[in-house]
Structure 1
Amino acid sequence: MIRLLSALAALLALALSTPASAYWEYGHETVASIAYRNVTPATRGKIDALLRHQRLLETPTCPARTIEQASVWADCVKQLGPRFSYAYSWHYQNVDVCRPFALKPACKDGNCVSAQIERNAKLLQDPKVPVRERVIALAFLVHFVGDLHQPLHAGDRSDLGGNQALASYGAYAPDKLNLHSIWDGYLAERAISTPPSPVRVYSAAEKATMQAGSVEDWSRESWQVAHDSVYAVANGGDACAPAGTRASLDQATIERLVPVAKLEVERGGLRLARLLDEALGQPRPAR
């Protein structure tokens, strides 16, 4: 048993140190897969047609042949240095969870995830935009919708999206584990892996419920999840109480958070499907 626990700890430490682990791959790919299954056949065909031009990206170490590969492209190209450094701040928006929701101050000059979702959706929709730019817009859009539905990309406590908030995950508590890595990784992975699979065709009623609203509405909702289910849970019920040295998420707490994290992935997938249909497919009926 001791050897087994040691091996497990080593594997978890390796996963934590890998820059493209957990949500950065599994979560984004799952959001993309949900969307791909729930768009119209016409939209699916146009997605595939665009991705056949992925060579125009000239990022051979970061392919985008499928929508799942495209979903992690925006993270992968961070490794290419200054070529894509302009997009670094597009992955998140640090809206303070301890103040009334205010999106504009966190999105100065459009440098935030919600503004870039709207911008790239418009670029994707415009057939006059060069093919290369539309492929980039598709990859960015797929990734950023996933980012918005990771709550710590939508709201925080001036702690770099929870990266400075140390936390333990069950019995696992290495020195550098924090709230961001838990929600990005271990919790997201458990939520997605818990049956039933979120990758399926959803009913019209489910789509109508989860796809409703604007990008700003979705931002507010994810920010609220950050307040209620991330910080309040980590701080003993008060999201804005002074943080201790390390939050502790026990197994009972983790089990309560699994449905919350899973719902965020489902919302992200279905909302991405809506945006892709609006940009590439037939207009949807008025809501």
Structure 2
Amino acid sequence: MNLRTALAAAALATALVLPPSAHAWGAMGHRLVADLAWDAMTPQARASARHLLALEGDARLADIASWADELRANDPDLGRRSARWHYVNIGEGDCDYRPGRDCASGDCVVAAIEAQAAILADPGQTRAARLQALKFVVHFVGDVHQPLHAGRADDRGGNTHQLNIDGRGSNLHALWDSGLLAQAGLDEAAWLARLRRLPAIGATPASTPADCAEASCAIVERPGFYPPKGTLDPAYAGPWLPVAEQQLRVGGQHLAEVLNRALGG
């Protein structure tokens, strides 16, 4: 599949399945973040995760990575209640996350990661409640590393920034969801191997969900992130595909940090 075909398909899938600003990385991207996190989890955290996953017969974090994007079809009520948990709009100039301004109701990805991680870490919660929290955490940490999930409210996270790909309509959000990754022409196993070769974060202080959102927002505000509307220049992928790769790699590392803390690592 070439880049133009992939972008058109991604845009159509996003329009048919999910509301604007509620989809990030695509299913493969979310699985990649989950697999990278598994690499960096402690043995104790992995054992705890396996115990929770076994409740529904799953074996890997990647198996649940897209669950939160499937709620709209599988559990419409929870899908509606959690729709705003996938993103936060802070890309309006300064990229400083301010809870009272950006997440006053607690309905944003930053607060959702914090709240669901707390449920996951609480041994007094039922196993089912902790499994649901694990599903949310795995997905939302992936979401917050897709730059447009911490972008601008005025264009709905790039959803209204229209692009033309091979004569068909698309948008910037769809481009970042999966179109950039599709350009490399790699299958999932090859992508995982490629991302594993990128340097990990290393022994740095753990980043908070707010830190991750601010870092994603800063990418959105870089010069050139927004291509001119209309026909997409094929050269756009040159400088930006490596950024998407790094965000997936960092997302996996940050997810491991969250799960190690929550699951006793």
Give the TM-score band, short-chain normalised.
0.7 to 0.9
Distance (Å, rounded) in 2 between the aligned partners of 1:195 and 1:82: 34
Partner of 2:203: 208
Structure 2 CA distance for partners of 1:212 and 1:22, relative to 1, 3 Å = closer
1:90 matches 2:92: no
Matching residue of 2:245: 262
- 1:119-158 mapped onto 2 (5 Å cutoff): 119-158=115-154
Q: Could you say if the C-alpha distance between residues 79 and 196 of structure 1 is closer, same or farther in structure 2, counting changes exceeding 3 Å?
A: closer
CA distance, structure 2, for counterparts of residue 100 and residue 26 of structure 1 = 28
Q: Distance in 2 between matches of 1:127 and 1:201?
A: 36
Query: Distance between the aligned counterparts of 1:27 and 1:124, measured in 2?
Result: 23
2:178 aligns to what? 185
* Helix, strand or coil at the partner of 1:25: helix
Offset of 1:252 from its aligned partner?
2.4
Q: For residues 193-243 of structure 1, what are the alpha-carbon distances to aligned partners after superposition, in whole Å with 9 as ceiling and x for unaligned?
A: 48783453887x73324x6432211111111011116xx4325xxxxxxxx
- What residue is the counterpart of 1:49 in the other structure? 51
The Cα shift of 1:184 comes to 0.8
The 2-side partners of 1:279 and 1:117 are apart by 11
Higher relative CO (Cα under 8 Å, sequence separation at least 6) belongs to 2
Q: Is the 8 A contact 1:26 1:189 kept in 2?
A: no
Deviation at 1:256, TM superposition (A): 0.9
- CA contact 1:154–1:222 (8 Å) conserved in 2: yes
Specify the SS of the correspondent of 1:118: helix
Q: Distance in 1 between matches of 2:72 and 2:192?
A: 33
Three-state SS of the structure 2 residue aligned to 1:167 is strand
Aligned residues: 253
Separation in 2, partners of 1:247, 1:101: 30
Instruction: Out of 106-115 and 91-100, give the one that drifted further.
Output: 91-100
Give the partner amino acid of 1:187: L
C-alpha separation between the residues in 2 aligned to 1:264 and 1:256? 13
Q: Distance in 2 between matches of 1:255 and 1:196?
A: 20
2:20 is matched with none
Structure 1 residues 165 and 277 mapped into 2: Cα distance closer, same or farther (>3 Å)?
Answer: same
Contact 1:191 1:259 in 2 (8 A): no
Larger Rg: 1
TM-score by length of 1: 0.78
Within 5 A, what are the aligned runs for 1:20-169?
Answer: 23-54=25-56, 65-80=59-74, 81-99=76-94, 101-104=96-99, 105-168=101-164
Alpha-carbon distance between aligned partners in 1 of 2:182 and 2:98, rounded to the nearest angstrom: 28
Once the 2 structures are TM-superposed, how far is the Cα of residue 192 of structure 1 from its aligned partner?
A: 9.4
Higher mean C-alpha deviation, range 20-29 or range 85-94: 20-29
Indicate conservation of the 8 Å contact 2:64/2:135, yes or no. yes
TM-score, structure 2 as length reference: 0.84
Rounded Cα–Cα distance in structure 2 between residues aligned with 1:34 and 1:195:
11
Matching of residue 233 in structure 1 with residue 235 in structure 2: no
Q: Would you say the 8 A contact 2:95–2:214 is kept in 1?
A: no
Q: Distance in 1 between matches of 2:232 and 2:25?
A: 18
Contact 1:234–1:248 under 8 Å retained in 2: no
